[in-house]
Structure 1
């Protein structure tokens, strides 16, 4: 988006560097600039007519802004912006803060607006900068900032639930019950936290989205919508499956260095990976959590694959492997033409932990053990 010339351009450059969701209104009340983050928040794109060059009163009636700003937010913004634009003597404070309700996705959220009256070196009015900020305590923002930005961006893209094909991975510690009883509770917590952190880091590294964590279990999704299509999503999932044992070994080694009596054999992960062509994926946001979840028969099937795995088996479905193209399989060190499969029901009868449920829900699935 073109930047205004002169002093307003300098303000735009500063705001762009900070990746703020912001707008600039010039001294005549015309919308002069909208930041990239603001465009994304409004659900617009480069072809959307944002109203640049038009008076803010007319701009606020446009569909793109009416979809983002609630009617109350529009009136509040007008009420506080007009007196400052019609104030050549500068009688109003140069900074002001508002709370505005925005319609983000399918939810209404309150955000902060920091307004800054702009003047040149001689005190002449230039307009105003409107900077949108989250109404969160600094310590909460600090906690959020510890997450992976690219991961959060992918999660933000799933505000509206929809059918999204994806590779699925489930993982769980083999024999976690006896292990939790043998270790001190604080040490077991450190172990689970370390494994969960390592799992999430690998998912982020390979462009996936972390799903639900329950106890010592973890899940992840790799969407086909990302560049590369089916093969790229399947490759990322299999890469995660391949790298998990090494990541867990590092967590165990760190604990051993502190004096904990533990070995890699104590913390083997049972893993199941599958392809979901008909998944329905979206955000679940409540007062206590923000996560992405997926529903569909293939999710249940992947859970059964993981539940049948035992002793650190890493079971991948034939459906997933056959999403790999020749180059992707070679990069993973796999030779799909020479791989053989077994039915999940057969593995379950060999001692898998899911028993009759696996045979009932997914017994006919063909799987290969990468371990």
Structure 2
């Protein structure tokens, strides 16, 4: 059974890269085994003409070693292909590869009874760095470090155990050992060098491709972030964007806020002054929303729409929404104090707050998503903000909002006073609404 892909986009990307790297590494290992097997047959073909060095066992040992290397690569390829591969198996693969090479090198030294100082004459020594290059394809530093340490330990083991001495006369040994540095043998070394370079090029290409995919994914998320509220960036980074696009129904607290008489105020201002005025208002809304954990869905001219309960709903969403409303009223009072010092016209706001079920999601494609909160609860909150004009109060809250916040307007000492049961504009059903005591526009 194939391992389940992680939900997180970056983790899934890395897992896919790991699987692809293991597949590539297994193919490279099989190619190495085939190339070296052909080379061994060419290099050791002269063994029949040499009487002093019997290379029959060396040839058989080389065939067995390269056969094990080939079938180990084939086994990994099949495990990846049929979804049986697991990340921990990379350590097993590295161990098998190094063990096969160390065993082959020891056997060659033993069969030819050569001292360890001559181990570099065997082309198989060149496979060690080649396998390290193959291991680098995984882009897994700990596996690469393990392969390096195991290689060093293996070569140290050869140095300790491969201390045999030759019975041949020096001149005879050197004459017959010349074959290990002949054109075929050096051709094998050149082939391994070329394979190593090709593996490193492949690793660079794979790393570049992974980088390009990561950059493309980051760019896509940044494009989405341009059109979604900044508070939803954690949703994008945790790869829940599909859930956001699917949408859901959630109980959220909704707040509409608007500047009263802004049209007349704007007509008396210069464009630069109006820009600064609207900017100052939005800065106060943004500061209060962040303070109480609200998500600004959008600014609408001189107004704003704020949601409490995103990206996940909490039990205190309504309470935080009311706290935001109180903070905004206090901020507007402070702002008016500053404006009074410059003889500027005081600012009045209207705020409507409601708690109810709404559809929350993002509509659009991957290039542009528009965050949307829809439903009757949104209409009610907008109508409550509109009702502040009729009742000449800065804040109107529904009973649902007060109840969800744990505030009882009927209790003694409650700061809320009833505005009666009213049928809001555009709605047939009447509902109880409240405002803060002693509040007035």
Corresponding residue SS for 2:308: strand
* Coordinate RMSD, CA, aligned: 4.6
Residues 327-338 of structure 1: pairs in structure 2 closer than 5 A:
329=407, 337-338=411-412
Describe the shift of the 1:275–1:186 C-alpha distance in structure 2 as closer, same or farther (beyond 3 A).
same
Structure with the bigger percentage of strand: 1
Quick check: 1:274–1:302 contact (8 Å CA) kept in 2? yes
5+ residue gaps, structure 1, are 1-18, 32-53, 62-80, 99-112, 116-129, 347-357
Describe the shift of the 1:20–1:225 C-alpha distance in structure 2 as closer, same or farther (beyond 3 A).
closer
Aligned to 1:153: 234
Cα separation, 1, equivalents of 2:18 and 2:367: 41
Cα separation, 1, equivalents of 2:410 and 2:262: 32
Describe the shift of the 1:136–1:224 C-alpha distance in structure 2 as closer, same or farther (beyond 3 A).
closer
Aligned to 1:114: 211
Corresponding residue SS for 1:23: helix
Corresponding residue SS for 1:211: strand
5+ residue gaps, structure 2, are 1-9, 24-77, 86-133, 139-193
Quick check: 2:235–2:311 contact (8 Å CA) kept in 1? no
Aligned to 1:217: 303
Cα separation, 2, equivalents of 1:184 and 1:233: 39
Superposition TM-score, scaled by structure 1 size: 0.55
Q: 2:330 aligns with which of 246, 249, 260?
A: 246
Q: CA offsets per residue over residues 305-350 of structure 1, 9 Å max, x none?
A: 101113551111111101123xxx4xxxx8652444223648xxxx
Quick check: 1:275–1:298 contact (8 Å CA) kept in 2? yes
Aligned to 2:396: 315
Q: What displacement does 1:214 show? A: 1.5
Aligned to 1:295: 374
Residues 80-119 of structure 1: pairs in structure 2 closer than 5 A:
88-89=196-197, 90-92=200-202, 94=204, 97-98=208-209, 113-114=210-211
Aligned to 1:193: 279
Q: Does 1:29 align with 2:126?
A: no
Aligned to 1:176: 262
Residues 268-279 of structure 1: pairs in structure 2 closer than 5 A:
268-277=348-357, 279=358
Q: What displacement does 1:239 show? A: 0.7
Cα separation, 2, equivalents of 1:215 and 1:268: 15
Cα separation, 2, equivalents of 1:288 and 1:26: 28
Superposition TM-score, scaled by structure 2 size: 0.47
Structure with the bigger percentage of helix: 2
Greater C-alpha Rg: 2
The alignment of Structure 1 onto Structure 2 pairs a total of residues equal to 257
Aligned to 2:344: 262
